[in-house]
């Protein structure tokens, strides 16, 4: 069984930098450009008998934002951690994210090492 890291952000630049930061976790990484895209990809992952190790999700995205994503994701996965990527200006989103079921957060712009350390705390 594979355990996937799911990286959700509408910015391709952010997705690539998150993926690079987390490469050394040694887990397969799937990128999604919004919450709905992530749910579709997670549904395929679980349908294949695999699992989600952790989601790293932006808040502001078209189609389905990060808060909506977390609420929907919690219906199909109660336990996999979700780390929210948020900007300083969206700091009030941290509380909303927690209420929706987020496990932690990273303030953008982030250092690769900080992101890696947060993820390591959640994924053993």
From residue 55, alpha-carbon distances to 38, 70, 92, 122 in Å are: 9, 9, 20, 10
Q: Which is nearer to Mg ion, 66 or 81 (CB)?
A: 66
60 contacts Mg ion (rule: CB under 5 A):
yes
d(CA 70, CA 73): 5
Residues 7-26 that bind Mg ion (CB under 5 A): 10
Exposed, middle or buried: residue 60 (CB in 10 Å: 0-12, 13-18, 19+)?
middle
Q: Which of 33, 37, 58, 90 binds Mg ion (CB under 5 A)?
A: 58
SS3 state of residue 63: coil
Binding region for Mg ion (CB under 5 A) out of 45-53, 60-68, 74-82, 109-117 = 60-68
In angstroms, give the least distance from the CB of 2 to Mg ion. Answer: 27
In angstroms, give the least distance from the CB of 30 to Mg ion. Answer: 18
In angstroms, give the least distance from the CB of 41 to Mg ion. Answer: 17
- Total number of residues binding Mg ion (CB under 5 A)? 4
Whether 38 and 69 have beta carbons less than 8 Å apart is answered as: yes
What is the CA 93 to chain-centroid distance, rounded?
Answer: 15
Which residues of the chain form contacts with Mg ion (CB under 5 A)?
10, 58, 60-61
């Amino acid at each position: 069984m594979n355990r996937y890291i799911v990286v959700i952000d509408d910015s391709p630049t952010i997705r690539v930098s998150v993926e690079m930061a987390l490469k050394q976790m040694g887990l397969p990484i799937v990128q999604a450009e919004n919450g709905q895209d992530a749910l579709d990809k997670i549904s395929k992952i679980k349908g294949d008998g695999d699992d989600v190790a952790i989601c790293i999700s932006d808040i502001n995205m078209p189609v389905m934002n990060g808060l909506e994503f977390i609420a929907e994701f919690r219906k199909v996965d109660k336990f996999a951690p979700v780390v929210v990527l948020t900007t300083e200006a969206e700091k009030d989103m941290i509380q909303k994210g927690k209420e929706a079921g987020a496990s932690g957060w990273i303030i953008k712009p982030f250092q690769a090492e900080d992101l890696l350390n947060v993820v390591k705390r959640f994924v053993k």
